[in-house]
Structure 1
Amino acid sequence: MDNVDLNVLRQVASWLREERRVVLGTITRTWGSAPRPIGSVVAVRDDGQIAGSVSGGCIEDDLIAKVREGALRLRKPELLRYGVGAEEATRFGLPCGGTLELMLEPLTPASQIEELLARLDRGERVQRELELASGAVRLAAPARDADVLRLSDTHLSTHHGPQWRLLIIGAGQMTQYLAGMALALDYQVLICDPREEYADGFAVAGVQLTREMPDDVVLRFAPDGHSAVIALTHDPKLDDLALMEALKSPAFYVGAIGSRVNQGKRKARLAEHFGLGEAELARLHGPVGLHIGARTPPEIALAILAHMTAERYGVQIGATPSGYGADGGCAV
């Protein structure tokens, strides 16, 4: 669940506290292109006020009309399908012949929206299982790799909370921008820096800081295919310790700040002192980030997250060319 949908749940909770009737719609399936991914949500209040989005606006307009006509006074969850034919597809902003399915759920105290938000505020990942016959909801901790919406004849299972994790080595100024932007992109962020002069003054809401040594932190972090590790200290004694473990892990992205010259020296050290092979060293993105002419810390953070996003979705984009250090223009 991304931050857009989390904001929808917060709005829903506010409406329910006001004792308003609310219907929550969750995208369960799409055919062809779709404006929002599976799992995205929209909520409609009993007077037609809406929160969230699942289309370019036409489906939302249709839901509002249904509410005002009294057609959404549901007693239990109900599956609604849009855009089967070309005419409907055009009307609802879907590609010709495309289809989008929404599970419409009338919310009650049994929906456990407040408890779900409380767990999400604690940084937890939560599996929400909706029983279609009754509307009852069970909340549980999902399996580590379970982040796929599942719909059966009896249940709808959705997953909420950070589904991507980012470990940053170093608590400098750039880390503050990188961590803040990563939170907005639905990353759970952990910062590692044993240096008192940096860690003492670091504070970003929603981010955890540890002063353990980087190699121990990476091992405890246990990077998986939804994890990224970025080394930003410029100190080989710290960055190399993290990279030697991260490059052996399934992390989808491992990067380090510094010029190509320094990256070459780093790879030589990792091979000589830590025994990393060519395949592991080839996974290191360094200089880290896309070459977008970034010079300031927030611009560099943007370049890093842009490259991470491309890697997440399997988009092949050229990384930084020779001489670009992703470190405020310093190519040393």
Structure 2
Amino acid sequence: MQIPDQAILGSALHWLTEATAPPVWLCTIVAAQGSSPRPPGALLACNVRGEQVGSLSGGCIEEDLLQRLQSGVLPVARAELIEYGVTAEQNERLGLPCGGRLQVLVQRLTLERDRSWLRAALDAIAARRCLRRSVALDSGATVTAAQEHHAPLRFDGHTLDQTFGPQMRLLLVGAGQLGQSLAELALAMDYEVLVVDPRPRMREQWQGPTVPLLGGMPDDAVREHASDCHSIVITLTHDPRIDDMALMEALATDAWYVGALGSRRTTEKRLQRLRQLDIGEDRLRALHAPVGLDIGSKTPLEIAVAIMAELVQLRRARQ
């Protein structure tokens, strides 16, 4: 499954390499004030035929921008900064809520100038690596550099710095009802979700969204699918024979977040078991347990909300 940036950049590259390559533009929200439909960093790729992938708003801005590009009213030779929501008339006509205001960098792409960085960005996403692109507004030229983590978009009026990289991958250990609720929320929030459960009966009873359901042992699943710094591992089964194996492996990897479901009493017993297995205190401090924010949650869906809220909180703090 492709993530949005991957689909957008891939479409732009595909259009550029067609035999009769149409004019192609890549549009990026570089600043947003007030209430805006999409955040800074949101992308839209479009071509002169009217094809488009991605979104800058609910559709109103895309339609206006594409019409201006197709008609030549907006002649973009390299890169141009376009503002929406500057006037009350624009807000009414384009439906920008609450006086929202957007700045959009429109970059005209060419095969000769842009194929290399588009390919590099797609390769980085596929390999679960981060890559920064820097676009000079005066020339439209793009340069790229490897980056360890996602970084917030930066635009100083002259240069755009934007990080591309993989989705956060969420490996859920346990295919029960809570796993189903968590998978639903995580998919809606643009996480990649995998579920591992060595118990055939639990996998057969899965009623959650369509995600990979892995058999086998959870430590093998962690090693194969969730060992990098863009990975999250959360154990949900309450069965030490399953959860502890996953935690032992996950705490030894670069996984960004490792969490375990359970009460404080259950957590203390779990920590004792892990210490007996020679898991050091420095590694144990990385364990988030009990998992999720303390919001008094009781039902599976409420617990799932608490877990996803903690992930949002920690990701925003890192940014």
Whether the TM-score (by the shorter chain) exceeds 0.5 is yes
Partners of 2:295 and 2:10 in 1: CA distance: 33
TM-score (norm 1): 0.66
Match of 1:71 in 2: 73
Q: Deviations over 1:30-73 (max 9, x none)?
A: 00111111100112211333322111222112112202321233
Q: 2:103 aligns with which of 94, 101, 104?
A: 101
CA contact (8 A) 2:31 2:102 kept: yes
2-side partners of 1:283 and 1:174: how far apart?
16
Native 8 Å contact 2:258 2:286 kept in 1: no
Give secondary structure in 1 for the equivalent of 2:8: helix
Change (3 A) 1:8 1:166: same
Could you tell me which residue of structure 2 aligns to residue 330 of structure 1? none
Out of 38-47 and 154-163, give the one that drifted further: 154-163
Count the aligned residue pairs. 293
SS of the residue corresponding to residue 39 of structure 1 reads coil
- Unpaired segments ≥5 residues, structure 1: 199-203, 295-299, 316-332
Equivalent of 1:33 in 22, 32, 35? 35
State the secondary structure of the residue aligned to 1:118.
helix
State the match for 2:15 in structure 1: 15
Give the whole-Å Cα distance in 1 for the aligned partners of 2:287 and 2:127: 36
Q: Mean Cα displacement is larger for which, 170-179 or 160-169?
A: 170-179
Q: How does 1:1-332 map to 2 (within 5 A)?
A: 3-18=3-18, 19-109=21-111, 110-112=113-115, 113-144=118-149, 146-162=150-166, 164-169=168-173, 185-187=189-191, 221=227, 228-232=232-236, 234-237=238-241, 239-240=243-244, 243=247, 254-257=258-261, 264-270=265-271, 274=275, 283-285=289-291, 304=304, 306-314=305-313
Using a 3 Å threshold, how does the CA distance of structure 1 residues 121 and 190 change in structure 2: closer, same or farther? same
Query: Is there any run of 5+ residues in structure 2 with no aligned partner, and where?
Result: 202-209, 315-319
The answer on whether the counterparts of 1:44 and 1:63 sit within 8 Å (CA) in structure 2 is no
Shift of 1:27: 0.4
Shift of 1:280: 8.1
CA distance in 2, matches of 1:116, 1:207: 29
Q: TM-score, normalised by structure 2?
A: 0.68
What is the CA distance between 1:176 and its match in structure 2? 10
Q: Distance in 1 between matches of 2:267 and 2:245?
A: 11
Per-residue deviation, 1:138 = 2.1
**Paired AA for residue 163 in structure 2:** H
What's the CA shift string for 1:103-152, capped at 9, x where partnerless?
Answer: 000011222323322332233222122232322222322132x4211113
When residues 80 and 165 of structure 1 are mapped into structure 2, their CA distance, relative to the original with a 3 A threshold, is same
**8 A contact 2:12–2:45 mirrored in 1:** yes
Displacement of 1:256: 3.0
Q: Which has the higher helix share?
A: 2
- Inter-partner Cα distance in structure 2 for 1:155 and 1:33: 24
Which residue type is aligned with residue 61 of structure 1?
Answer: E
Distance 1:227 1:6 in 2: 18
Contact 1:124 1:161 in 2 (8 A): yes
How far apart, in 2, do the equivalents of 1:289 and 1:114 lie?
Answer: 44
Partners of 1:3 and 1:184 in 2: how far apart?
12
Percent identity, aligned pairs only, is 37
